[in-house]
Structure 1
Amino acid sequence: MTKAGVITVSDKGSKGQRVDKSGPAIKKFVEEKMDARVTSMIIVPDEQELIEKTLLYYADVLKLDLVFTTGGTGFAPRDVTPEATMNVVDKPTPGISEVIRSKSLGITPKAMLSRGTSGIRKSTLIINLPGSPRGATESVSFILDALPHGIDILKEEAKECARKD
């Protein structure tokens, strides 16, 4: 079973001024659609250093297999989730982010404004998602079929991506 975490990046959410709907939506979606359990969830403000520390804690201390962030991926001056993510990953995984943006463009032209990224830190896959519940769950649905295999490779439970003939 995949151990997952969700980090909601929101100034207002972290202060209790807005109810986080995206984090719980991601948790519900992932637990229903994948062989996964979300074991950790947190809301942090749009502070790059705090986002980085939380990502490091989830990857290095909790050793989660999969971490989703939601929020902080747009054009606003305080949107720094992609920068925080890129500062902590060892290897970028551009294909994941490209698929999310590409498929999202079929739903809304505003998808091109997402700066979300993804990458691997040690054996943890980190994926930035939009801040809305709908955008976040749609994004996960686009990559859902490939995630288990990628995570198995990170956990060294699978060796290659070749098709079985």
Structure 2
Amino acid sequence: MHLVANRLSSSNFWAWIAVPGSEAPLPCPVRIEEAPRRLRVGDVCTVRSTQVMVHAVSICPDAQGMLHQLVACRITSGRLAQGASTVELTRPGLAVAVVTLSDKGSRGEREDTSGPAVLELLQDSLAVTTHAMVVIPDDAPTLKRYLMDLCLVQGFDLVVTSGGTGVAPRDITPEVTLAAIERRLPGLETAMMLAALQKTPHAALSRAVAGTLGESIVLNLPGSPKAVRENLAAVVSALPHAIAKLQGDESDCGSKH
């Protein structure tokens, strides 16, 4: 049986699983108790077992109410039958999340065009197999919750924010990102700045931050679709290598050049 991790709970044991060929209209969670490592969004789980024991079916939002804009969950609680043999985890591609910060967009007063621009460029440039998109207000606690959940619970490989990187009073993205990340990636920031300055002197006002949180890369981008493409294009080719090294790739970096 092949399962695809679609949404994880904070326990890192329960996953909303999309079962290929299932008649269920929405993802269903199965408890994978014998996985060789913690599940992450985008994992493909190969389960060798004679049966799956299903205990109950119910409708329930996620505990924190954080990702209801991303996924509606039909919850089927279950676990592998006792004595099940093996669970193998593979990642066929990258899992990316795009968070657009916009007060008007979050209220439905403005269409989000920057988030789709980010996703389009990433899908054109990288092997993206799983993605999530959300629009939130320019609110520090909300952004912090999303960053922590998307990186440390869901385990997305790349989390990109769009908007809130300037000097306006409600531009809070860099401060929140700096407080959340564990290591900063100034090279990515510099590359984006240099590319943007070739287009406009206003790029010097950007305070965009790049860094790592858990096994995820976090990248701030501006709010306009044009600036999003210009900044992201400057660094997108470096992202797969950065993600691989962050997640434990021990191969010799020099051998790849």
Q: TM-score, normalised by structure 1?
A: 0.95
Matched, 1:31 2:116: no
1:84 pairs, out of 176, 186, 190, with 176
Tell me, yes or no, if structure 1 residue 75 matches structure 2 residue 167: yes
In structure 2, what is the equivalent of residue 96 of structure 1?
188
- 1:17 equivalent to 2:109? Answer yes
1:93 & 1:134 partners in 2: Cα distance?
23
Please name the residue that 2:157 is paired with. Answer: 65
Q: Does 1:131 align with 2:223?
A: yes
8 Å Cα contact 1:70/1:128 also seen in 2? yes
Does residue 144 in structure 1 map to residue 236 in structure 2?
Answer: yes
Q: Which protein is richer in helix relative to its size? A: 1
Q: Secondary structure at 1:23's aligned position in 2? A: helix
Aligned with 1:43: secondary structure? strand
Structure 1 position 61, deviation (Å): 1.4
Task: Give, in angstroms, the shift of residue 159 of structure 1.
Answer: 3.7
- SS at structure 2 position matched to 1:18: coil
Greater share of strand: 2
Identity level (%): 36
Is there any run of 5+ residues in structure 1 with no aligned partner, and where? none
Please report how far the alpha carbon of residue 103 of structure 1 lies from its aligned counterpart in structure 2 after TM superposition. Answer: 1.1
Note the C-alpha offset of 1:163. 4.7
Cα deviation, residue 38, structure 1 = 4.8
Q: Extract unaligned runs of 5+ from structure 2.
A: 1-92
Write out per-residue CA displacement over residues 8-40 of structure 1, whole angstroms, 9 at most, x where no aligned residue. Answer: 001110001110000011111101111123521
- Say which SS state the counterpart of residue 121 (structure 2) adopts: helix
Separation in 1 of the partners of 2:175 and 2:252? 30
Q: Which amino acid aligns with 2:171?
A: D
Q: Which residue of 1 aligns with 2:41?
A: none
> What is the CA distance between 1:161 and its match in structure 2?
3.0
Name the SS for the 1:72 alignment partner: coil
| Segments of 4+ moved more than 6 angstroms | none
In the alignment, residue 90 of structure 1 is paired with which amino acid? E
Whichever residue aligns with residue 42 of structure 1, its letter is: V
Correspondence for 2:133 among 41, 64, 68: 41
Superposition RMSD on alpha carbons, in Å?
1.3
CA deviation vs aligned residue, 1:85-117 (integer Å, no higher than 9, x gap):
011101011110111011110111111010111
TM-aligned CA distance change 1:163 to 1:110, over 3 Å: farther
Could you say if the C-alpha distance between residues 20 and 158 of structure 1 is closer, same or farther in structure 2, counting changes exceeding 3 Å?
farther
Counterpart position of 2:40: none
Q: Alignment partner of 1:59: what SS?
A: helix
Q: Are the equivalent residues in 2 in contact too, given 1:31–1:38 (CA < 8 A)?
A: no
The Cα offsets for residues 104-156 of structure 1, whole Å up to 9 and x where unpaired, read as 10111111010111110011000000101111111111002211111111122
Question: How many correspondences in the alignment?
Answer: 165
TM-score (ref. length: structure 2): 0.62
